[in-house]
Amino acid sequence: MFNVPMNEVIGLFPTPVMRAPAVLDAALVAGLTDFLVSHCTTANNSSDQLSHTALLKPSDTPLLVTAAMRFTPLLEEFGALLFGERLPWSLKEMWGNVLDKGGRQAMHNHANSFISGVVYLTRPHPDSRTVFMKSPGGTEYSFKNDHDGVVTGPYNSERWVSMPPEPGDVVLFPSYLMHAVPPNPGERRVTMAFNAIPSRLDSWGYAVSFNG
């Protein structure tokens, strides 16, 4: 008998998404929820049931200072996956989102940053979890095989529905990654989003520094 070698499938250039559970404790979650809900006064232009805060700074409330301290180690860990080096990271901006029943968030990504994150402050309805999508300008074939008999997997799917989050969980992803929130059929959904930048990037002596 000959041992027949197994075929090997290699996933090239995967895109990392990090879920960090229970980063914020219950008291911090409750305090941030109250603060953000009271400051979400900017309407979203694509959904009447979605509103946002203005861009926030940690100095706006001690709650944000505490939250920012919890995020910093995650940014360094996730940044090492993206750039191969543990670098100092700064939160560039933070803002709150309140999505009421029937509201949705259109597909978008975040410009002028490298890591983006979502902090879940309430438990979202299973149908309104964050959905990550392939870029519409991707490099996939222009003709698709798409019908009832297709088995969807990591190499032919166009979207990925994030895992069910709990209040206090944080999800980090590359800022270029397209994402959206489907229509919310449940209770009010409260999150805080943020963008982050590293202190510098160095490509064989061509260095760029960023100010947080």
Predicted local distance difference test score (pLDDT) of residue 140:
59
Q: Where are the domains of the chain?
A: 18-137+155-200
Give pLDDT tens digits for 79-103. Answer: 999 999 999 999 999 999 999 999 9
CB contact at 8 A, 49 and 103:
yes
- Cα 40 to Cα 122: distance, rounded to the nearest angstrom: 15
Predicted local distance difference test score (pLDDT) of residue 136:
75
Which regions of the chain are under pLDDT 70? 1, 137-142, 212
For residue 15, the 8-state DSSP code is: P
- Cα 175 to Cα 9: distance, rounded to the nearest angstrom: 28
Predicted local distance difference test score (pLDDT) of residue 212:
64
Predicted local distance difference test score (pLDDT) of residue 145:
81
Predicted local distance difference test score (pLDDT) of residue 30:
98
Q: Which CATH number fits domain 18-137+155-200: 2.60.40.1180, 3.30.70.600, 2.60.120.620, 3.40.640.10?
A: 2.60.120.620
Predicted local distance difference test score (pLDDT) of residue 172:
97
CB contact at 8 A, 210 and 130:
no
Predicted local distance difference test score (pLDDT) of residue 167:
97
- Cα 98 to Cα 189: distance, rounded to the nearest angstrom: 6
pTM of the model: 0.92
